[in-house]
Amino acid sequence: MKKHQPSDTGRRSFLKTTGHLMIGFNLLPLAFCQTKGATNEIPAYPGIPLRPHVDGKLVDSWIRLDAEGFLTVLSGKQELGQGIKIALIQIAAEELDISPDRCRIINSDTGQTANEGFTAGSNSVEGSGKAIRNAAAEARRYLLAMAAEKWSTSPDSLSVTNGTIKSPKGDEISYWKLLEGKHLEGTVTGTAPTKAPRDYRYVGQSLQRDDIRKMALGEPHFVHDLRMPGMLHARVLHPPSYHAKLESLAPTAVESMPGVVKVIRDGSFLAVVAEREYQAVKAREMLKSLAVWSEVPLRPLPRELAESMTTSLGKVEEVQMSPGIAETIKSSTISLQAEYFRPYHMHASMGPSCAIALWEEELLSVWTATQGVYPIRATLADLFSLDEEKIRCIGVPGSGCYGQNGADDVSGEAALIAKKLPGRPIRLQWMRESEHQWEPYGTAMAFRLAAGMDAEGKILAWDTTLWSDSHSTRPNGRAGSFVSARHLDTPFEFRKGGFSAGSYRNGIPEYSIPAKQLQLYNFAGPLRTSSLRGLGAYANTFAMESFLDELIHRAGKDPIEFRLENLEDPRARAVLEKLAEKADWKSRQKTALNGFGIAYSRYKNSTSYFAALAEVDIDKANQTYRLKKLTGVIDSGLVINPDGLRNQCEGGMIQSASWSMLEEVRYDGNGIISENWSSYPILRMMDVPEVEVHLIDRPDTPPMGAGEAAMGPVAAAIANAIFDATGSRIRDLPLKAEKIAWNTL
């Protein structure tokens, strides 16, 4: 295949001398840049994997001044729709005093960016943002020192306007002219002074996101949109259930179908490759009709799951203990115990997972929507017993993720298929049924909570016992993490991990309670699980804040006042106080046909603060309810992009409402039943409530991740609102109307 060549040989020569061969070329990562000067053309194969400066201690591992007069930001974090690209550009542009219009960004490319692990846990701004801020500050100090030496003056006397340094005497020189072909030298020491918040011009502004514009206009943006010369299309036929094995297949009829290039069988791994996509789809349907499988029933069944979890044997993990807590609760004036349950949830990505892979001369390139290009590179190296340096993984946005959906699996499968057809790019896209049935779900969880209060409503003791499967089986160097690697003729072993911390995230109350206890039981459930937005924080907060609402009701207290009385952190109190103000809590119009619910948490007990109010209307005649409005208040420290932060909160609130009201993975002994949008309903546009988000900006504090902060509080707020309206407490998700005790109203 003909490789892509840069057209400007002079620029190429210049970039070679600086060691920045990639910057400015029309290669894939720049095709998804979101600022002026970046091309929209979908590029060809980039060729041999690069070895750029990817040492996180080097300035030019994070920012580079390229030959075209642009600043290029490099980040190992993937754009997942959370707006990280524009936020990181704002941070770099601010520290270097360069207009964001002159900035572009490359995300998640093992050939260009540093290894920042997974894009997960709402850590991108805290991690990558901090690294880029420090690198930009270091670069500014270095450049001002160069200019000061050139003009025999002090760096402190110089100013910068859009990348041009100016002296008191009227001398001017741009960053790019000053470098004259040199690259930014030096390491990131962390000692370079960063700009004071009072001087910010770009941070704190709602700059527009180009990815949203592209999606609105239908322009190429996702990995699904990539088209390459000579590209073939593939489809995989996954087994009908987890433990099914392929017994027999007569592929002749499929191989003779129009456009079919190859049928691939390796153990129970089945795939078809064709010249056109619809030909691959039709061939897969034929494969499905011909394949004969042996199957093993799934157990326990859904009706047995909660009991199976809470009665399972195993060693308890004592996360936090408080001797004598059971007696304290028993002897309290008010004591309460309740059990809660969360079912399996899907990522339910709107577009099925997709990846493109190309083998050429024992070099593998994969265009992937993974959340971790370096971890998946290590996993591919294990799959093929190949040196990691011979694999390049290029991150491209996918159509929905927030955890480990099928993006990693489809990348591994595309590489397996491409290995059989070297020299031609292989585009593999899952079918909808594969996405629903084979993605790793957010795990089911069970909770048993107990607490005791005194006569004045002061909580004296809180005891949590929870049961949970793994919250992370991400590919991180072991090929068995790819689901199809387990189906090969020589299968790779799968080792489940990721228990513990993800399970009890947000499981210990922040409230001022003298005795707190949490015990965890790891449970190996029947379905495949891994990371889903918030991990255990969503269900823990749902259970905790619902149970707290029960205690508040028993004590006859106001839901906001009670929380304020039992929270010491002034920032926690502030989000609740602002929620009460913005929602006009004390003057709310309570009727027999509506209800209001409050919930609060600080994500991970260490990052963003979030308080939520849900308002529901009930319809007694039709025995249903409607989520009318959600109001949220968030404190994420320094706000980089206000509109972006609101986007994150609004999306999280709506997704949480969908999880909480509708979603649960249905299965039986034969496998997953939830294989489409009818059998796995999600919140439709007509049912989306009014959403209102208020921000507390704290410019003098570090920015914190916000993407997962809303998930748990919204779930509990809706449950508490239903109770407020009906007096019926729903303790097991989803919060379906049929679970309300309508006959008692």
Task: Place 384 in a pLDDT band, splitting at 50, 70 and 90.
Answer: very high
Residues recorded for the chain: 745
Domains: count for the chain: 3
* End residue of a domain, out of 187, 217, 247: 217
Q: Would you say residue 248 has pLDDT above 60?
A: yes
277 and 331 fall within a common domain: no
Task: Place 553 in a pLDDT band, splitting at 50, 70 and 90.
Answer: very high
pLDDT per residue over 676-692, tens digit each?
999 999 999 999 999 99
Domain that holds residue 271: 223-295+347-438
What would the DSSP string read from start to end of 594-627? EEEEEEEEEGGGTS-EEEEEEEEEEETTTTEEEE
Q: Would you say residue 18 has pLDDT above 80?
A: no
* End residue of a domain, out of 383, 403, 438: 438
CB 737 within 8 A of CB 623: yes
In this structure, is residue 557 part of a structural domain?
yes
Interatomic CA distance for residues 71 and 68, integer angstroms: 9
CA-CA-CA-CA dihedral for 213, 639, 614, 738, to nearest 10: 60
Interatomic CA distance for residues 673 and 324, integer angstroms: 46
177 and 235 fall within a common domain: no
In the three-class reduction of DSSP (H, G, I as helix; E, B as strand; rest coil), residue 159 is classed as: strand
On the 0-12 / 13-18 / 19+ scale of CB atoms within 10 A, 386 is middle
In this structure, is residue 307 part of a structural domain?
no
How high is the pLDDT of residue 534?
A: 94
In the three-class reduction of DSSP (H, G, I as helix; E, B as strand; rest coil), residue 541 is classed as: helix
How high is the pLDDT of residue 53?
A: 54
Q: Would you say residue 182 has pLDDT above 90?
A: no
Interatomic CA distance for residues 734 and 682, integer angstroms: 11
Which tokens sit at 432? 């909808």
CB 632 within 8 A of CB 615: no
Query: Which residues lie closer than 8 Å to 160 by C-beta, 6 or more apart?
Result: 96, 97, 140, 144, 166
Q: Would you say residue 38 has pLDDT above 70?
A: no
151, containing H or E segment: helix 130-151
Q: Would you say residue 215 has pLDDT above 90?
A: no
Q: Please state the pTM of the whole predicted model.
A: 0.91
Q: Would you say residue 320 has pLDDT above 90?
A: yes
Q: How would you classify residue 117: left for phi > 0, otherwise alpha for psi between -120 and 50, otherwise beta?
A: left
In this structure, is residue 76 part of a structural domain?
yes
Which tokens sit at 518? 């949490």
Average confidence (pLDDT) over 627-632: 98
Average confidence (pLDDT) over 472-499: 91
Kindly state the DSSP code that residue 129 receives in the 8-state scheme: I
How high is the pLDDT of residue 501?
A: 79
Residue 283: CATH number of its domain: 3.30.365.10
Q: Would you say residue 175 has pLDDT above 60?
A: yes
Q: Across all residues in the chain, what is the average pLDDT?
A: 90
Task: Place 45 in a pLDDT band, splitting at 50, 70 and 90.
Answer: very low
CB 126 within 8 A of CB 703: yes
CB 724 within 8 A of CB 663: no
191 and 273 fall within a common domain: no
Kindly state the DSSP code that residue 128 receives in the 8-state scheme: I
Average confidence (pLDDT) over 569-587: 97
Q: Point out the least confidently predicted range of 32-46, 202-216, 268-282, 647-661.
A: 32-46
Average confidence (pLDDT) over 652-667: 97
Q: Would you say residue 185 has pLDDT above 80?
A: no
Task: Place 511 in a pLDDT band, splitting at 50, 70 and 90.
Answer: very high
C-alpha closest to that of 395 among 133, 116, 123: 116
Task: Place 121 in a pLDDT band, splitting at 50, 70 and 90.
Answer: low
Interatomic CA distance for residues 485 and 492, integer angstroms: 6
Interatomic CA distance for residues 657 and 719, integer angstroms: 10
* End residue of a domain, out of 399, 415, 438: 438
In this structure, is residue 101 part of a structural domain?
yes
515 and 485 fall within a common domain: yes
Tell me the one-letter amino acid at 175.
Y
Q: Would you say residue 119 has pLDDT above 80?
A: no
What would the DSSP string read from start to end of 365-417? EEEE--S-HHHHHHHHHHHHT--GGGEEEEE---S--SB--SHHHHHHHHHHH
- Per DSSP, the chain holds a count of helices (H) and strands (E) of 19, 26
Tell me the one-letter amino acid at 683.
L
Task: Place 6 in a pLDDT band, splitting at 50, 70 and 90.
Answer: very low
Interatomic CA distance for residues 464 and 548, integer angstroms: 12
405 and 551 fall within a common domain: no
Phi, psi of 348 (to 5 degrees): 50, 50
Q: When comparing pLDDT for 31 and 340, which is higher?
A: 340
357, containing H or E segment: strand 354-360
277 and 182 fall within a common domain: no
In the three-class reduction of DSSP (H, G, I as helix; E, B as strand; rest coil), residue 575 is classed as: helix
Interatomic CA distance for residues 144 and 174, integer angstroms: 11
Task: Place 41 in a pLDDT band, splitting at 50, 70 and 90.
Answer: very low
Q: Would you say residue 24 has pLDDT above 90?
A: no
Q: Point out the least confidently predicted range of 23-27, 105-109, 452-456, 667-671.
A: 23-27
Average confidence (pLDDT) over 395-416: 93
How high is the pLDDT of residue 525?
A: 94
Facing residues of 696 across strands?
A: 635
C-alpha closest to that of 120 among 712, 660, 705: 705
In this structure, is residue 668 part of a structural domain?
yes
C-alpha closest to that of 572 among 581, 560, 555, 582: 560
In this structure, is residue 301 part of a structural domain?
no
Facing residues of 695 across strands?
A: 634
How high is the pLDDT of residue 617?
A: 97
Which tokens sit at 360? 């050429």
Q: Would you say residue 36 has pLDDT above 60?
A: no
C-alpha closest to that of 644 among 41, 58, 210: 210
Interatomic CA distance for residues 120 and 80, integer angstroms: 10
CB 83 within 8 A of CB 647: yes
CB 601 within 8 A of CB 545: yes
Task: Place 60 in a pLDDT band, splitting at 50, 70 and 90.
Answer: confident
Interatomic CA distance for residues 117 and 374, integer angstroms: 6
In this structure, is residue 363 part of a structural domain?
yes
497 and 608 fall within a common domain: yes
Phi, psi of 104 (to 5 degrees): -140, 170
98 and 194 fall within a common domain: yes
pLDDT per residue over 421-466, tens digit each?
999 999 999 999 999 999 999 999 999 999 999 999 999 999 999 9
Interatomic CA distance for residues 32 and 68, integer angstroms: 17
Q: When comparing pLDDT for 93 and 497, which is higher?
A: 93
449 and 417 fall within a common domain: no
316, containing H or E segment: none
Report helix, strand and coil shares of the chain as percent, to nearest 5: 35, 20, 45
Q: Would you say residue 23 has pLDDT above 80?
A: no
pLDDT per residue over 582-604, tens digit each?
999 999 988 989 999 999 999 99
Which tokens sit at 147? 């200019």
Inter-axis angle of helices 84-96 and 130-151, to 10 degrees? 30
Average confidence (pLDDT) over 372-382: 96
Interatomic CA distance for residues 667 and 570, integer angstroms: 45
Q: When comparing pLDDT for 417 and 18, which is higher?
A: 417
Task: Place 659 in a pLDDT band, splitting at 50, 70 and 90.
Answer: very high
pLDDT per residue over 455-471, tens digit each?
999 999 999 999 999 99
Share of the chain above pLDDT 70, in %: 92
383 and 284 fall within a common domain: yes
695 and 653 fall within a common domain: yes
In this structure, is residue 2 part of a structural domain?
no
Interatomic CA distance for residues 504 and 67, integer angstroms: 49
Phi, psi of 705 (to 5 degrees): -65, 145
In the three-class reduction of DSSP (H, G, I as helix; E, B as strand; rest coil), residue 691 is classed as: strand
How high is the pLDDT of residue 499?
A: 62
Interatomic CA distance for residues 600 and 260, integer angstroms: 55
206 and 239 fall within a common domain: no
